Amino acid sequence: MKKLIKSFKYAFEGIFTGIKKERNMKIHIVIMILVIIFGILFKISKIEWIICIALFGLVISMELINTAIENTVDLITKEKNEQAKIAKDVAAGAVLVSAIASAIIGLMIFVPKILAIF
């Protein structure tokens, strides 16, 4: 049981470190909070909440993986290296793809609700 508790402790430390140290993670968290606020205001459906929560998890997870890859690459080499650049760029690209897809889906959920007001 102690090992399980420790593994959760380390996982939460990783999440909080990502939030504290990564600028883009802070941006994702702010956007997530705004989506939650708008979701409450617009009374989105249960399925829309499920979609939003899944997308929050996807983008935040991708950002954490990106951070882990970048830090691992930096640990291995500080020199300019084409393979290191590819690893970091591809990891950042994965975050961008998930963020763009999430933004498009978010627009599909919220734009009709915003337009219904006008």
Which residues participate in catalysis according to the annotation? 63
Q: How many helices (H) and strands (E) does the chain have?
A: 4, 0
Sign of the torsion formed by the C-alpha atoms of 87, 31, 54 and 51: negative
Give residues with Cβ within 8 angstroms of 76, minimum separation 6. 84
Residue 73: count other Cβ atoms within 10 Å of its Cβ.
Answer: 18
Dump the DSSP string for 46-101. HHHHHHHHHHHHHHHHHHHHHHHHHHHHHHH--S--HHHHHHHHHHHHHHHHHHHH
